[in-house]
Each structure stands twice: as C-alpha cells, then as structure tokens.
Structure 1
Amino acid sequence: MLQSSRVIQIEWGDCDPAGIVWYPRYFGMFDACTAGLFHKATGLRKSQLIAKYDFVGFPMVDTQAKFMIPSAFGDEIRIDTTITELGRSSFDILHKVMKGDQLAIEATEKRVWVGKHPDDPARIKSKPIPDEVVAALRG
C-alpha cells in the first residue's frame, strides 16, 4: 500500500505545562497525515475529494496509540502513514512517529468513508470507497 511521510517541527503550542507534546495534538497531526496520504494518492486535497465524490469525509471510529518517547518544543519528528487494510467502506491506518531513528509513537486508526444518510441528511452513513480511490491508495 501507498505510504506518505510528513516532517513536523514541534511548536510551543503543541506542548503541555510539562514541556512535552500534549497527546491530543498528535491526533490532529495524524488527521492531517491521513488527508495527506489521500492527497498523495489522488492528487486531490480533502475539500476537492469531498466535492468530487459527494461524500462527507472519513471520520475515525476507533484508535489506539502506544507512546514510547516524548517530544518537546523544538524537536523534529517524522510521521510515516500507511493504509494497512482497505475494505468496502472502511480502512485501517498506521502512523509511525519517528524521532530521529527511534520509534516514538505507533498509532492505529479505523476510518469510514461516509456520506449523508439518504433518509436524514443531518446524519451520516457509510458508503463504498470509489474504485479509483481504492486503486490510487493501493499504489
């Protein structure tokens, strides 16, 4: 499967009073990395994907993370993102946060490709990932 990488400089605002990255900030980074993977695969930004394929997005329905090495203000990290499983309407993502050559965090996500619910547009419902998107993600 396709992989993308993103280098991030840890900013002051990413950190908690202890001076290390406040863990929810990583999940924002992971979300951006997932969108970046789709951009690399399709050439389309998330807003363009939504317009082209008439869907709402790909919300996370499950996540897990193992934190091994903390990062602090000024550190540089690299997040390697790949899809590990691709289903009809869902996909699993693996994010590996590298600090130098050391694995700092390993996180997994399950996300679902969703559109507006046909009976109630205020709700969402899973829908199949378009075949051309699947092909692009497979590389």
Structure 2
Amino acid sequence: MFQTTRYLKFGDCDPSGIAYFPSYLDHLVGVLEEFFATAGVPWPTLIQERRIGVPTVKLDLTFSKPGFHGDRLDFAVRLKRIGTSSMDLEHEVSANGALLWRADHRIVATSHDTHRACPWPDDIRSAFMPYLETQDA
C-alpha cells in the first residue's frame, strides 16, 4: 500500500467550506503521479521519454462524508491487479480518522504514438510488484 497526505485548500472548497468534489480528482491525479514516482517510474520520464501515458478508463467513487477546508486528507492507494496493459487501484481517503470517500480506479498504459493500449514494459511491471496486494486463498 502507498500512503500520502494532501490538504484541502481554500480553492478546493465551495463557499460553505465543503470540498468541491472535482477538486478531489485533481488531488487523486497528484497522488497517482506521486505513487508512480515513489515506485521509480516518474511521469516526466514515462510520458516524455518513453511516450507512455496512463489514462483513466474507469473511476467509481463513493462518498461517505464531506471534507472541509483545512482537512488533512490521508490517501491510501492499494494496487489490486496488474494486467497486460491495465492496472486496478483502490483509493481510500480519510480525514481525522474517518473515511471520506473511496474509489475503484483502472488506468491503462497507452502509446503516445498510436494512442492505443500497450503492454506494461517489464521494468515498470517489476517496479510495481512490491505494491501488488495478494489475495488470500
């Protein structure tokens, strides 16, 4: 599992101080970029040099409680599956020990040259293997 923290800023919230849900997605992209960098796969190298993108093809969010301006958001990212070209992630976002929202997320490796799915290169797959959560039998 990968964990990191973000804070809800004034610009992330509506006039009542409650998190504006699209701002959560902005944070989610930043967390995903940080996760890749921590695994040794920084996006500038992936995108500019290797010409591989990681677009989202599925994102299912469930909101449990509102977040408020100033909240510390604790992100937990679990890698559930690595396919030939896809990766399934589970995100849980909490503040003050309470779950705010969770998401099931699928990204796909794509070639910037063909704009089609491409297999994860072996070194990238290997970089993520330590994060892959195993299923108990």
The answer, yes or no, to whether TM exceeds 0.5 is yes
Distance in 2, matches of 1:33 and 1:9, equals 12
Q: Is the contact made by 1:83 and 1:94 (CA closer than 8 Å) also made in structure 2? A: yes
Corresponding residue number in structure 1 for 2:45: 48
Q: Match of 2:118, as an amino acid?
A: K
Cα deviation for residue 117 of structure 1 reads 4.7
Distance in 2, matches of 1:106 and 1:96, equals 4
Question: For structure 1, which runs of at least 5 residues remain unmatched after alignment?
Answer: 119-123
After superposition, residues 1-139 of structure 1 pair within 5 angstroms as: 3-42=1-40, 44-55=41-52, 57-118=53-114, 124-139=115-130
Distance in 2, matches of 1:74 and 1:34, equals 21
With normalisation by structure 2, the TM-score equals 0.87
Q: Is the contact made by 1:20 and 1:70 (CA closer than 8 Å) also made in structure 2? A: yes
Question: For structure 2, which runs of at least 5 residues remain unmatched after alignment?
Answer: 131-137
Distance in 2, matches of 1:85 and 1:62, equals 14
The SS at the match of 2:116 is: strand
Distance in 1, matches of 2:125 and 2:112, equals 20
RMSD across aligned positions (CA): 1.4
Q: Which runs of 4+ in 1 moved over 6 A?
A: none
Report the count of equivalent residues.
Answer: 130
How much identity, in percent, do the aligned residues show? 25
Cα deviation for residue 52 of structure 1 reads 4.0
Distance in 1, matches of 2:104 and 2:4, equals 16
Q: Match of 2:122, as an amino acid?
A: D
The SS at the match of 1:129 is: coil
